Structure 1
Amino acid sequence: MLRTKETLITTFAMFSLFFGAGNLILPPLLGFKSGEMWWLVTLGFATSAVLVPVFGILAHAKLQGTIFDFGKKVSSTFSLIYSLSIYAISISLPSPRTASVTHEIAVQPFFNISSLTTSVIYFSLVFVFVINRSRLLDVLGKILTPTIIVILLAIIGITIFDVDVSFGEATIKNPFSIGILEGYQTFDAIGAVVVGGVIIVSINLKTKASYEAKKGLIRKSGWLAGLALFLIYAGLIITGSLNQNNFSPDISRTELLTGISRLTMGNTANIFISILVSLACFTTAVGIVTGTADFIKERYSNYRNAYLYTAILGCVLGVLIGQFNVAYIITVALPALMFIYPLTIVLILLNVVPDRLASPIVFKVVVLITILFSIPDFLGSLEFLTIDKGIFGWIPLSGHQLGWVLPAVVAFVIANAIRNSALVKDPS
């Protein structure tokens, strides 16, 4: 039986691996634009940035393998392509973005150095942590995460109790769907399948506990980490909405976070926000590079140098891409997210539901339909077509860039109905 101490350490480590650049800079601007509708945008954001990632952790608790196991019921080839795509996206976009955010918020205000210099120093430190991965859970769970949470709670608490509680009007349409789509940019659903693998390997390095004991530990930690993420996100969104009248309507994400920090913490704001941003971004980058290296090592039959070479590649990509500004990386990431995120959500949910509802044929049908109906949203994000008009206008929720949702649900129901009908006719 694993103790409460292990549960808390794993929860803190899981939280820190999730909580990175996007998790920090996205919610305040959502609140800022949603005004009195902050609660609706919070529900949307929490759906894609909390609930789905928690389900991803629950799926890992059940599978206790790697990301490769998420798609095996479709086919081994599909699962390998999907896994490699996820890791390629992870080390090319969200990981470098953490360095970019760190430079803009935590380094640039204090030091006159280039983004290249910041990225080199940043990913050199990431590399040190990745190579020492056996101590990862303890360092993240005991030291870094508590520091992150204390600073966040200070900013949120001071704002809520010190600012006049009055909300302005929403400046965005469809706050719920906007919240869902903005939750994509946290990469947390993708993070769940990556981070979950890191947690599994880390637990296996520390304990020889039974499958059921580890399953219980991962499930409890996942729900607790999800609760912490929800409370922090809701707090940051409320913080942004309460400051709607204090900043220019066209303020950027990073400028808003920095501005709110100055209002709440005065002259010490820059120091605290720099520590917060650096730690939050750093832990996520470590998790992504570690997860990628773990996977490649496992695919190459635990060949040790595979881990080392992948860690080096991940850090080099981080240095090269991390030089671009945050807004540019977020823009570039959108098309990839519009295609891979729906597929990731579907695979997570299919691995959470009971096995009798998720047979290989159900996996194949639902995944195929999800891919097909994600293509219009993908092309729309590239501005190749307008998805709420023409031949795609009839798809429910297509105007909200969620045209894949209902077809995937219908495919799930029909595939199970056909399977059950076949079982009735031929019980053998």
Structure 2
Amino acid sequence: MKSNKIGTIATLGFALFAMFFGAGNLILPPFIGLNTASDWFWAIIGFTLTGIIAPFLGILAVLKVGENISDLGNRINPTIVSVLGLITMWLIGPLIAIPRIGATTFEMGFSPIFQGMPTWVGCSIFFLVTGVLSISPNKIVDIIGKYLTPLLIVLLLVLVLLGIFIPVAPAEVSTLSPAKSLMLGFMEGYQTMDVLASIVFAGIIIMAVKDKGFNQQSDKIKITISAGLLSMFCLMVIYGGLIYLGATSGYQASGEVSRTQLLLYISNHILGKYGVYAIAIAISLACLTTSIALTTAFSEFMENITKGKLKYQWNVVFCCVVSLFLSLGGVDKIIEYAGSLLGFVYPMILVIVLGIVFLGNTVRSKFPYVLAIVVTGCVSVLPVFSSYGIATEAIGKLRASLPLSQQNLEWIIPAILAFIIGVFTAKKAKS
């Protein structure tokens, strides 16, 4: 039996919002706003493209070919999509997302309340709780997720609205051009990692649509698009508002800007000391539920792909230990090393998503997609060499010679050309 369409759209829209809204992502927008100043609007556009619209398109891509990432693999290439899926699980698991969540919890949640607490103590407590609750799920996790995430959203809406109507300071004149401000937002959107998560977890949303009684493809697409538009609007309000708050924060730093300190500074000026405490507690508990969800997903994934050789419980322990070790470097260090890794993987996922969504019905051959993905990977790996100091002069010159390299988009033209060549090659092979 079909559920009420409007009610279904609202329910799934907020479910999508909850899926993509991460407490660990809150530290990104204010930093963007601070750096783009009066050009904050252009930064919002850039961040929206990669941090909000692209994840939604990821779900649509899976929906167009089937119901999960396996169907996406069958449409393009099972091996390539499986490898990218494995890399994605590690990135949104113990390599980037989970340690960043732990570090964010310490810097945003523990430090303001327990001043002077050593980093290793706070992070150890966080990952001990994450591990215990991941191995032995408890109803407390559901309670935190059900009530604390909405509370955090309400607090953030209050923060954003007060900051808009009573800004801390006027936005300074930007030292960046509008194009560079847009690109800063675009590249920071990689750090949300939501487009990576979208192709892995799309099956959850698609199954929810079917459970509501909408089994026809046209109905599923309409419901998903409507729910996606609702979730994107909610994300734009919060993320866009936080970018504006960063631009009007008047924050002055003597050295490098700490993303967590910036958000605490803004919260303190707008909500006061007790408002900071409320946000600190809400962020800590919201981060905990996200950490448990990602730890559980990673551990189950590793158990499944190894056919039970790596047991779930040991995967949880491994995930928490690795995440603890990496979290000790702090949020900004994690974001720093994550940039090059995401800059390598994100473009390949974008090629898959954009290709299937916009060309999937007209280009049926697998070869153009495979060629575009491989070429994109070969080009997007070049900045990784530079980031880790292993780039030769030849690699540096090669990257500099590519169009859009100054904007870190050197992969776009090669990807388009590879796709076009793949189309003609596939047609020639058929004839």
Letter in 1 for 2:150: P
Letter in 2 for 1:109: P
- My pick for the range that moved more, 211-220 or 144-153, is 211-220
Letter in 2 for 1:377: P
- Against the structure 1 CA distance between its residues 365 and 140, is the aligned structure 2 distance closer, same or farther, given a 3 Å change threshold? farther
Pick one of 409, 412, 415 that aligns with 1:405: 412
Summarize deviations over 1:206-255 as a string: whole Å, max 9, x none: 77863646555544333322221122111111111112x34336432111
Task: Please give the residue correspondences for 1:2-401 in structure 2 after superposition, counting only pairs within 5 Å.
Answer: 2-3=3-4, 4-91=6-93, 92-111=95-114, 112-127=116-131, 130=134, 142-163=146-167, 166-172=170-176, 174-199=180-205, 210=215, 212=217, 217-243=223-249, 245-248=250-253, 250=255, 251-299=257-305, 306-353=311-358, 354-385=360-391, 390-401=397-408
Letter in 2 for 1:405: I
Letter in 1 for 2:338: A
Letter in 2 for 1:93: I
- Against the structure 1 CA distance between its residues 90 and 307, is the aligned structure 2 distance closer, same or farther, given a 3 Å change threshold? same
Give the conservation status (yes or no) of the 8 Å contact 1:185–1:337. yes
Give the conservation status (yes or no) of the 8 Å contact 2:39–2:174. yes
- Against the structure 1 CA distance between its residues 346 and 17, is the aligned structure 2 distance closer, same or farther, given a 3 Å change threshold? same
1 CA distance for matches of 2:232 and 2:395?
A: 33
Residue 366 of structure 1: CA displacement?
Answer: 0.8
Give the conservation status (yes or no) of the 8 Å contact 1:184–1:337. yes
Letter in 2 for 1:348: V
2 CA distance for matches of 1:344 and 1:232?
A: 25
- Against the structure 1 CA distance between its residues 200 and 393, is the aligned structure 2 distance closer, same or farther, given a 3 Å change threshold? same
Give the conservation status (yes or no) of the 8 Å contact 1:19–1:280. no
2 CA distance for matches of 1:374 and 1:126?
A: 34
Summarize deviations over 1:45-84 as a string: whole Å, max 9, x none: 1111111111112223334544344344443332322221
Letter in 1 for 2:91: I
Residue 297 of structure 1: CA displacement?
Answer: 5.0
Residue 293 of structure 1: CA displacement?
Answer: 3.7
2 CA distance for matches of 1:145 and 1:57?
A: 22
1 CA distance for matches of 2:79 and 2:171?
A: 51
2 CA distance for matches of 1:117 and 1:110?
A: 14
Which structure 1 residue ranges, 5 or more long, are not aligned? none
Partner SS, residue 379 of structure 2: helix
Aligned residues: 421
Give the conservation status (yes or no) of the 8 Å contact 1:74–1:360. yes
Give the conservation status (yes or no) of the 8 Å contact 1:16–1:144. no
Give the conservation status (yes or no) of the 8 Å contact 1:261–1:270. yes
Superposed CA RMSD? 3.3
Summarize deviations over 1:137-179 as a string: whole Å, max 9, x none: 9768743432222111111111111127732111345111121
Give the conservation status (yes or no) of the 8 Å contact 1:87–1:292. yes
The normalised TM-score by structure 1 is 0.85
Give the fraction of aligned pairs with identical amino acids, expressed as a percent: 29
- Against the structure 1 CA distance between its residues 164 and 118, is the aligned structure 2 distance closer, same or farther, given a 3 Å change threshold? closer
Residue 296 of structure 1: CA displacement?
Answer: 3.7
Summarize deviations over 1:76-101 as a string: whole Å, max 9, x none: 33232222111122212111110101
- Against the structure 1 CA distance between its residues 308 and 388, is the aligned structure 2 distance closer, same or farther, given a 3 Å change threshold? closer
The normalised TM-score by structure 2 is 0.85
- Against the structure 1 CA distance between its residues 35 and 227, is the aligned structure 2 distance closer, same or farther, given a 3 Å change threshold? same
Residue 346 of structure 1: CA displacement?
Answer: 1.2
Residue 309 of structure 1: CA displacement?
Answer: 4.3
